[in-house]
Structure 1
């Protein structure tokens, strides 16, 4: 039985169709003319790399969320301070007492 060799670019595109585009392994395998078993092996071979990258992206996203929440709290505090009346001037400018 002869084993067919596939170019790395071909394998990468096949895996990309499964992982990124959401196609099923049997569909992609049938469309590209490869065995589903081979395609499952290709997908499994890149999964550790992908999960490491996804973990890194998830950690970065969580850090960004925490930073944005802290910034939002700060801005809300500033807003609340600016909303409070200062008490230095009366409500109506015509009521300002004149010193004689």
Structure 2
């Protein structure tokens, strides 16, 4: 078996077509083409779907990546705000009492 060789999508689709459209056995096609049956089964799962389904899956994957990036950004912003709130709360302590951020914002101290 060939290891480390990259096959084009066209080659993969042709190999899958031999199995799906022409009805040849996976083991027979794999042996003829000099590839592993595992690769052919993987390609079959990948290319046997209609092009519309493949494009929908690709769009969903892109949306998931976008949402993960956005979630990471929002989580980081929330963490920064929590740290700032903690620092602000400790800074604004007065006479043993902690002010809320709303109280602190409405009052300006002049030294």
Q: TM-score, normalised by structure 2?
A: 0.41
Q: TM-score, normalised by structure 1?
A: 0.45
